[in-house]
Structure 1
Amino acid sequence: MWRDPGVPADSFYEIRPECTDVPVTRFKIKAGKTLSARKWHAAFTPEGYLDIGKTLSRIYRGGVHPSIKGEVWEFLLGCYDPKSTFEERDQIRQRRRMQYATWKEECHQLFPLVGSGRFVTAPVITEDGQPIQDPLVLKETSQAKGLAVHPQYNNSPSSMDAANNLAKVTDKTVVQWLLTLHQIGLDVVRTDRTLVFYEKQENLSKLWDILAVYAWIDKDVGYGQGMCDLCSPMIILLDDEADAFWCFERLMRRLRGNFRCTESSVGVAAQLSNLASVTQVIDPKLHKHLEHLGGGDYLFAFRMLMVLFRREFSFCDSLYLWEMMWALEYDPDLFLMYEMPQSASEKAEGSKGKTKSIRQCGKYEREIVKSGAKNAEAPLPMSVFLVASVLKDKSAKLLQEARGLDDVVKILNDTTGNIDAKKACCGAMKLHKKYLKKAKKP
């Protein structure tokens, strides 16, 4: 039987010609498997209601065509309710764009470079609120490194002058925010630098603006390293900056706990602890070996969980992995949970999960609902089982060759570009089923 070999999708995310060491992309656009624009538009009724159930299974089978990824992701991440109309969604979109513009203007008033097409990579303020004069030029030290001044227009000094003429800041919240701006800038210039897309100054500035605004509105978490990797695809897939911001904000609803740090712990430690518990159940021998090597805290998996495998896959494959994972985890009440958390919890309590259409749930979410795990406690995210599946795959090698934590890190680093996203998701699903069964046993 003839099988469609598929068309490479790399042409949608062009790589700079000088970058030759990027991981090879495995994802291919396959007719009949990949969710196409035609199939996607056919899933809507004339009013705009979306049959999300049918769409989820196709995404899991073959991913999403790059031309529609952005709009599909908005549903997968809970920006919109599939049970809404075109008109209702348009109203929500306009309202959100206005909200983003308001927040961005607030940030611009505090630091005029926000929204100017420029950004900083040098500190603008001291911890006690004293402005650091001329943080943008620093010609001798920073331009040599390609840092500090990132002007979009050479003939517009006003915003730069305003940024350099900061008065002493006494509000601790504002100081905290200003302290993060250069760190965001430093991370922005390192993010996806192999892509032609980020050769354009305006795209780098857009990424900086979104992260600066997010750090301002989420004062509890602020900005953390790794957020650039999570936000970058949104800017590439969605043309409107406000739409990209809201897509990122929805993703952060799932992941912000990983970035919440206290003096005694890192947010992602909870997920690492979950990973340890899962590995102990499904591969006790490997868990014991890792503990013996001093890796019982599973810190070697920190990066995989923080940025959802962005470094282990090519850019294109990481997007494929994300959309498969979100399709599998999809909960039809997602939009309601984010927009009206009270209503969502009341609905869950009143129905004990029974009125939720299983057909509208992703496969992973379905398993959780069937097992009753959702009612007992917060279910583990699929990312934990994805990491567990990579460890399981490397179990024999880790047991035979790892004689210290450096060996563990090296073996896992060797997976970069060598993991198949579809196989990893299948492996994670199998381990999840196995874990639910074993965890149930007394």
Structure 2
Amino acid sequence: MYNVDHFREQYSRLKSECQKMVPVIGSGEFLTTPIITDDGQPIEESANGNISNYGGDANHATSDKKVIQWKLFLHQIGLDVVRTDRSLVFYESQAHQAKLWDILSVYAWVDNDIGYVQGMNDICSPMVILIDDEADAFWCFERAMRRLRENFRCSASSIGVQSQLSTLSQVIKTIDPKLHQHLEDLDGGEYLFAFRMLMVLFRREFSFVDSLYLWELMWAMEYNPNIFSSYEVPSGGATPSNVNDKELKQYGKFERNIVKTGYTEKHGALSIFLVASVLETKQKQLLKEATGLDDVVKILGDITGNLDAKKACNEALRIHKKYLKTVKQ
């Protein structure tokens, strides 16, 4: 049972913890310049001369690696905040920008493993806009990140969505070998042109309203009653195949396809098949007009505002069903 008061109090404690280290948090303002150096030494002033007022114990050197890394995130978050959904009147208010910055800053402190990565601002923004209470918006974002945080895990040797891009490549190779070969010939076999679509779930490809509608459709179609209660990421496999018809009706359409085919191997999230549906929609144009990766990016960029989310999801389900049947043979 979700206890609203408990979670609001918990957020208040987390925010207070961050506030003690950097008092600008919760002030209605936010940082866009660094407050410490990479080795934890304080930077006394920013270009506007205000860091000494905001830095809190940033005015003292620290050797705590977690604290250093977190404080280094803060101005990066601020720079992304001012670029977030700039076309929306909502963010003409500094108070609203500061609310987004506060939530992302507290989350970066809580997530010891990943912290903050550019793109998280795109995921968090809808929660800030739609939910008045900051604590409630934070926990909605935190739950969304439980599904999506692996998208943001990056290292020197891999990117967060690399496994999804690999699955996308396998899907297109299976259902449309001709298109896959063409993309390979263009040196696009790793499907990096789909990186942003997968990382932030089409937030930048669609308008604010359309992207939220798409999220709602996708997450409803991925609904699995066995994992919902624990808020875990859909596993992309291991869905029980011994589900009776009555139980099956509780599943979203995407999960239902998996159960019906009895496929138990990892198959990827619906977002992968949604990208595949976009590629299939543009297949003829890609084959005819794309002579390089820049052309691929441009053709796919034309989907903005021109894609029906419901039709795209239905096409993704059709591709998913076809893929499952093919790989199971």
Give TM-score, length-normalised by structure 1: 0.70
What is the match of residue 359 of structure 1? 249
Q: Does 1:440 align with 2:328?
A: yes
Which residue of the partner structure matches residue 138 of structure 2?
Answer: 245
1:276 aligns with: 169
1:208 aligns with 2:101: yes
Shift of 1:307: 1.1
| Cα pair distance change 1:288/1:173, threshold 3 Å | same
Aligned to 2:259: 369
Deviation (angstroms), 1:161: 4.5
- Which of 397, 401, 426 aligns to 2:289? It is 401
Stretches of structure 1 that go unaligned for 5 or more consecutive residues are 1-87, 139-148, 150-156
> Which residue in 1 is equivalent to 2:298?
410
**By how many angstroms is 1:107 displaced?**
1.0
Equivalent position SS for 1:294 = coil
Q: What is the match of residue 5 of structure 2? A: 94
Distance (Å, rounded) in 1 between the aligned partners of 2:319 and 2:83: 35
Instruction: Give the letter for the 2:5 counterpart.
Output: Q
Counterparts of 1:395 and 1:283, CA distance in 2 = 9
Structure 1's 165 and 377: CA in aligned 2 closer, same or farther, altered over 3 A? same
Give the residue type in structure 2 aligned to 1:413: G
What SS does structure 2 have at the residue aligned with 1:274? helix
The 5 Å alignment of 1:299-318 reads 299-318=192-211
- Give 1:336 deviation, angstroms: 2.6
Preserved CA contact (<8 Å) 1:133 1:164: no
Contact persistence 1:388–1:428 (CA under 8 A)? yes
Task: State the 1:378 CA deviation.
Answer: 4.0
Alignment CA distance shift 1:126-1:353 (3 Å): farther
Structure-2 separation of matches of 1:279 and 1:233: 31
User: CA deviation digits over 1:12-50, x for unaligned, max 9?
Assistant: xxxxxxxxxxxxxxxxxxxxxxxxxxxxxxxxxxxxxxx
> In 1, distance between residues paired with 2:319 and 2:300?
19
Q: What is residue 112 of structure 1 aligned with on the other side?
A: 23
CA distance in 1, matches of 2:28, 2:267: 41
Shift of 1:289: 0.6
Matched-pair contact (CA < 8 Å) for 1:135–1:164: no
Amino acid at match of 2:192: L
CA, structure 1 residues 217+378, in 2 after alignment: closer, same or farther (shift >3 Å)?
farther
Equivalent position amino acid for 1:98 in 2: E
Task: Indicate the larger mover: 413-422 or 173-182.
Answer: 413-422
Distance change (3 Å), C-alpha of 1:407 and 1:310 = same
Residues 316-327 of structure 1: matches in 2 within 5 Å?
Answer: 316-327=209-220
Bigger radius of gyration: 1
Tell me, yes or no, if structure 1 residue 331 matches structure 2 residue 224. Answer: yes
Is contact 2:123–2:141 with CA below 8 Å preserved after alignment?
A: yes
Residue 137 of structure 1 is matched in structure 2 by: 48
| SS state at 1:337 partner | coil
- Distance in 2 (CA, whole Å) between partners of 1:281 and 1:160 is 59
SS in 2 for 1:248: helix
Give the match's secondary structure for 1:194.
coil
**Contact (CA 8 Å) 1:272, 1:302: kept in 2 or not?**
yes
**1:19-418 counterparts in 2 under 5 A?**
88-89=1-2, 92-135=3-46, 137=48, 160-163=53-56, 166-338=59-231, 354=243, 357-373=247-263, 376-418=264-306
1:37 aligned partner: none
Letter in 2 for 1:186: L
Secondary structure in structure 1 of the residue aligned to 2:225 = coil
Q: 2-side partners of 1:107 and 1:258: how far apart?
A: 25
User: 1:219 & 1:353 partners in 2: Cα distance?
Assistant: 38
408-417 vs 363-372, greater mean Cα deviation: 363-372
Identity across aligned pairs (percent)?
A: 61
* Distance (Å, rounded) in 2 between the aligned partners of 1:193 and 1:295: 31
For 2:125, the aligned partner's letter is S
SS in 2 for 1:211: helix
Contact 2:21-2:58 within 8 A present in 1 as well:
no
